[in-house]
Structure 1
Amino acid sequence: MDVRVRGDLSEVFDVQHFRENSETAVAILHKHLSDQSIRGLELVDPAVLTRAARALMTDESERIADFDEGRLAGILELYVRTGIAVHSPGSMGRQFSGVVPLGGVVDFVSSVVNQPSAFYEAGQLPNVAERIMAEELNRFIGWAPGSFDMVTTSGGSLANLTALLAARNRAFPDFWEQGGPGATAAGRPAVAVGEDVHYSVARAAGVLGIGEAQLVRLPLDRERRICPRRAERALAEAEERGLRVFCVVASAGSTPVGAFDPLDELADLAHRRGAWLHVDGAHGASLLVSDRLRPKLRGIEKADSLTWDAHKMMFVPAPCTLLFYRDRAHGAAAFRQHASYVFDEEPDPYTALDSGDRTLECTKRPMIMALWVLWSLYGRALFARKIERLCRTTALAHRILLEQPDFEVLHRPEANILCFRHHPAGPAGRAPADPREVHRLQVAIRDRIKHEGTFFLSKVDIDGVAALRMVLMNHQTTSEHVRLLLQAIRRAAQDVQADPGGPR
């Protein structure tokens, strides 16, 4: 074990020490990325992991501890080993992306130089890069150059909250200063959402003081997309109940099944009723960069705002969310505050790039840098080809499942999310027929698969009954991996039936 004395602050900040630490980390990550075995999630008992973590902590409390390279390596190895193996073809459970490795390098540089990017003076290149990427990506959205706005936020939930805040302030200009109105002449403030809307939108309604009771649920069609015809009736009924729907939220790649709502029709419907259309494209907006897949977002140019998570299908480190506004004035109206210690009284060419007045975050990471560097070096094709490959593999998985008599496919995948159920008895006598038993079986299968550690699957309730959910985020996942997963599911079901009270 390499033990060196580090007696003061100068030693802790020593650049040679930094180089050695970095080499230790790179060696561990190189080994991690080189492992292409099929791995899922290695769940460790929290008490066991806590003991392991504490064992790696120094006991020294009175002075700066002697540096221990072995201790550092142990910490980093434990960190890497206990996370989801997002780079493994067996990881099919969630929208967590294995990053393009160079993106991680750029994020490492961002961490060391530590340039908060909410203000130009603190992070000059990140603010310029943010403006450049807004212009690059708007080529696929289609808004008039110079008329729109984009700001980065730490995650899609925060972007959805901010967009709803801007929509609320447009509809109720006095809300920010005077507080939430009750029943106004136009009705109580309300937001209309699809049944499969992400939970962050309902959470935003509570945070903004609108209340979940004022969420108008719009019916879905058979493909779990908002049905415009039935939505129009639901909006009319909401108005009769004294609600003023000031924002309609559509999904471009819903979290449960990856459905794309009909944006073109919903934009027309929302605008006829004087409402704002916000598109939660956290997952699916990235399809815009593909010529082949872009039509799934037809009508996006009519939206008033768009949430786009680059850390999902653009494969950069999280978080990196882009919040777009069709009208740049609306972004500026989301927050209405003055603070002399950050906001300059006289705008100039430098402060014009500040985003601190348009986001909840005063200090935020320069999250755009990884995306901009990859785009600068590789161009659009890197992202388009990987996304297209994931969608092709998911379509192939759909065809494979349709051929299996003991599996029920619940929808045709629109992107890279596919939901299905396993019925061991097959179609002749699908047992257990009781929906509660079907639900329990799918959950038990998912738990067995997760604890086995070879594959990682998620689950989602569809029409109140659990389903297994496959999310393909790794371009190295093939049809053979899908077939191996189905075999693992069958074995898990047999184990559950043989030992219903077994480990979960």
Structure 2
Amino acid sequence: MTESLQSDLLFEAFETQRFRNNAETVLSRLEKHLADLSIRGLELTDPAVLTEAARSLMTSDRDRPTAFDEEQLAAIVDLYIRTGIQVHSPGYMGRQFSGVVPLSGVIDFVSSVVNQPSSFYEAGQLPNVAERIMADEFNRFIGWDPERFAMVTTSGGSLANLTALLAARNRAFPGFWARGNSALGEQVRPAIAVGADVHYSVARAAGVMGVGEDRIVRLPLDDRQRIDAALARPALDAAEEQGLTVFCLVASAGTTAVGAFDPLDRLADVARERGLWFHVDGAHGASLLVSDKLRHKLSGIERADSLTWDAHKMMFVPAPCTLLFYRNREDSRGAFRQTASYVFDERQDIYTAFDSGDKNFECTKRPMIMPLWALWAIYGKGLFAEKIEYLCALTQEAHAILEKENDFETLHHPEANILCFRYRPEGFGDADIHQLQLDIRNRIKSQGNFFISKVDVDGSAALRVVMMNHHINAGHFQMLLDEIRKAGQPQ
């Protein structure tokens, strides 16, 4: 009886030959896309025009399956590719996500088809084993006790920061999870200390957790845009005098704005003196740990209590893929304290010991570790180290080029692959420079040859490049400067 409810088109949608044909259609277009190394930025499309184009590719039959159209699929893929940021182009210098190592996209494709959510071992066996393997591999660079540390994957650095801060709060205030603020008493006002240039996700986490953005203690920065360790103690003393109970100090290993690395060793001293949880947001810069030449920038990382590491940034795999590390395994279980009979087993065995559902926010979680593990298994760390070292050296070269140009102003010495600067032609006073940078960035974006970003540095707008593509060279950067000069002419 039930067989009569299923049409032939339903079965055709799942046919393996159909799958092969679909894959070949998509593969041919992606191959062409990856082979195109022309200089191109972002071609913004009017949202109304794009909406109409997308709707025109949709079937008009809403009540039953329609026959498959290969040309329709090709048109959808072409539209998808054409309207996105061209992360594989030498013109892309704007954001911290990168073009992926193509093999990692292939593995991600496998993950999408086999569909094995990885918060529980029984649903995703290899992903859970791979997660443990990569935890051990990366801990060799962090330096924690291999018998005591823990790592869990989570969907993005913002969620990792929130999870770590929850663990920190629950350790400092054990009754908060169950009873909220009522567990603290009227005199206790939890607070989080951060660098003035910290990523906005930390302030957002404070709001989500009920700590409140007003209880973010912003520590002063030095002339390199890092937390000034000498001024951290007076700032914490002032917070205590205001009745705040700081329970966590957050440092950055590669700030989003300028790529600065806070002095982790000195800040670890401050945190230890005051009994604070020490969290390092290394979403961008933690990947430098895999480079023998650059690892020193994270000196002191072994003293952190937790570390956020985005592999979808400088490890060049599909987003999201974030690794959240804890120095002490017990702390990894402190962020969430719940029971649920339908997923959590009362008694652990050799299988459930690999489950991470009690340590991460997601119940259904993509097996995001698989592309990273596959690349590491096949290429080893050398592939990543070589690309990271090239990108950082390229950024140094770009800085040296700017230093020789009279109409440009450098704002910092780059520590990794992020560089901020301003175009300062003759005839523009300080009052006009801010708006000029904004105008230049928008004109560059609309022209479609390069894609760069902007950021406020010391209260004034600056142009920002992030070197994420090993096909970029100094010549491309010189071309960008020429385009900036043209965009900076009076309109």
Question: What's the TM-score bracket when you normalise by the shorter of the two chains?
Answer: over 0.9
* In 1, Cα distance between equivalents of 2:181 and 2:352: 32
- Any idea what SS the aligned residue of 2:464 has? strand
Residues 257-280 of structure 1: per-residue CA shift (max 9 Å, x gap) = 000000000011011111001000
Aligned twin of 2:322 = 321
Question: Is 1:174–2:175 an aligned residue pair?
Answer: yes
Residues 450-498 of structure 1: per-residue CA shift (max 9 Å, x gap) = 000000000001111100000000011000000000000000001xx1x
- Any idea what SS the aligned residue of 1:67 has? coil
* In 2, Cα distance between equivalents of 1:410 and 1:182: 46
| Structure 1 residues 93 and 390, CA gap change in structure 2 (3 angstroms) | same
Aligned twin of 2:456 = 461
Question: Do the aligned partners of 2:176 and 2:184 also contact (CA within 8 Å) in 1?
Answer: no
Pairwise CA distance, 1:115: 0.1
Question: Is 1:153–2:154 an aligned residue pair?
Answer: yes
Q: Which amino acid aligns with 1:349?
A: I
Structure 2, gaps ≥5 residues long: 1-6
- Any idea what SS the aligned residue of 2:193 has? strand
Q: Which amino acid aligns with 1:482?
A: F
Q: Which amino acid aligns with 2:157?
A: G
Aligned twin of 1:276 = 277
Q: Which amino acid aligns with 1:433?
A: G
Q: How does 1:71-82 map to 2 (within 5 A)?
A: 71-82=72-83
Aligned twin of 1:434 = 430
Residues 57-85 of structure 1: per-residue CA shift (max 9 Å, x gap) = 11112221111100000000000110100
- Any idea what SS the aligned residue of 2:462 has? strand
- Any idea what SS the aligned residue of 2:227 has? coil
Aligned twin of 1:36 = 37
Aligned twin of 1:343 = 344
TM-score of the aligned structures, taking structure 1 as reference length: 0.95
Q: Which amino acid aligns with 1:374?
A: L
Pairwise CA distance, 1:187: 3.4
* In 2, Cα distance between equivalents of 1:187 and 1:266: 24
Q: Which amino acid aligns with 2:252?
A: S
Q: Which amino acid aligns with 1:451?
A: S
* In 1, Cα distance between equivalents of 2:182 and 2:325: 27
Question: Do the aligned partners of 1:7 and 1:64 also contact (CA within 8 Å) in 2?
Answer: no
Question: Do the aligned partners of 2:9 and 2:66 also contact (CA within 8 Å) in 1?
Answer: no
Pairwise CA distance, 1:181: 4.7
Question: Is 1:413–2:414 an aligned residue pair?
Answer: yes
Aligned twin of 1:485 = 480
Question: Is 1:390–2:391 an aligned residue pair?
Answer: yes
Q: How does 1:62-101 map to 2 (within 5 A)?
A: 62-101=63-102
Aligned twin of 2:3 = none
Q: Which amino acid aligns with 1:487?
A: D
Residues 210-246 of structure 1: per-residue CA shift (max 9 Å, x gap) = 0000000000000000001101100011011111110
* In 2, Cα distance between equivalents of 1:289 and 1:474: 18
Structure 1, gaps ≥5 residues long: 1-5, 426-430, 500-504
Pairwise CA distance, 1:182: 8.3
Aligned twin of 1:201 = 202
- Any idea what SS the aligned residue of 1:28 has? helix
Pairwise CA distance, 1:8: 2.4
- Any idea what SS the aligned residue of 2:181 has? coil
* In 2, Cα distance between equivalents of 1:434 and 1:77: 45
| Divergent runs of 4+, >6 A | none
Aligned twin of 1:474 = 469
Q: How does 1:297-316 map to 2 (within 5 A)?
A: 297-316=298-317
Q: How does 1:64-143 map to 2 (within 5 A)?
A: 64-143=65-144
Question: Do the aligned partners of 2:259 and 2:415 also contact (CA within 8 Å) in 1?
Answer: yes
Question: Do the aligned partners of 1:186 and 1:244 also contact (CA within 8 Å) in 2?
Answer: no
Question: Do the aligned partners of 2:176 and 2:183 also contact (CA within 8 Å) in 1?
Answer: no
Aligned twin of 1:378 = 379
Residues 168-194 of structure 1: per-residue CA shift (max 9 Å, x gap) = 000000000010258748731000010
* In 2, Cα distance between equivalents of 1:281 and 1:423: 32
Question: Is 1:445–2:440 an aligned residue pair?
Answer: yes
Q: Which amino acid aligns with 1:489?
A: I
Q: How does 1:228-247 map to 2 (within 5 A)?
A: 228-247=229-248
- Any idea what SS the aligned residue of 1:180 has? helix
* In 2, Cα distance between equivalents of 1:90 and 1:254: 23
Q: Which amino acid aligns with 1:231?
A: A
Question: Do the aligned partners of 1:188 and 1:244 also contact (CA within 8 Å) in 2?
Answer: yes
* In 2, Cα distance between equivalents of 1:234 and 1:487: 44
* In 1, Cα distance between equivalents of 2:151 and 2:446: 41
* In 1, Cα distance between equivalents of 2:35 and 2:116: 31
Q: Which amino acid aligns with 1:209?
A: G
TM-score of the aligned structures, taking structure 2 as reference length: 0.98
Question: Do the aligned partners of 1:180 and 1:210 also contact (CA within 8 Å) in 2?
Answer: no
Taking only the aligned residue pairs, the percentage that are identical comes to 68
| Structure 1 residues 182 and 330, CA gap change in structure 2 (3 angstroms) | closer
Q: Which amino acid aligns with 2:462?
A: A
Pairwise CA distance, 1:11: 0.5
* In 1, Cα distance between equivalents of 2:169 and 2:184: 15
- Any idea what SS the aligned residue of 1:308 has? strand
Pairwise CA distance, 1:96: 1.4
- Any idea what SS the aligned residue of 1:179 has? helix
Deviates more, 1:197-206 or 1:174-183: 174-183
Q: How does 1:177-192 map to 2 (within 5 A)?
A: 177-181=178-182, 184=185, 187-192=188-193
Q: Which amino acid aligns with 1:453?
A: G
Question: Do the aligned partners of 2:173 and 2:184 also contact (CA within 8 Å) in 1?
Answer: no
* In 2, Cα distance between equivalents of 1:75 and 1:185: 57
Q: Which amino acid aligns with 1:476?
A: H
* In 2, Cα distance between equivalents of 1:186 and 1:132: 45
Aligned twin of 1:227 = 228
Pairwise CA distance, 1:434: 3.3
* In 2, Cα distance between equivalents of 1:332 and 1:187: 24
Q: Which amino acid aligns with 1:158?
A: L
Question: Do the aligned partners of 1:7 and 1:66 also contact (CA within 8 Å) in 2?
Answer: no
- Any idea what SS the aligned residue of 1:323 has? strand
CA RMSD of aligned residues (A): 1.0
Deviates more, 1:180-189 or 1:464-473: 180-189
Pairwise CA distance, 1:7: 4.1
Question: Do the aligned partners of 1:154 and 1:321 also contact (CA within 8 Å) in 2?
Answer: yes
Aligned twin of 1:502 = none
Q: Which amino acid aligns with 2:271?
A: A
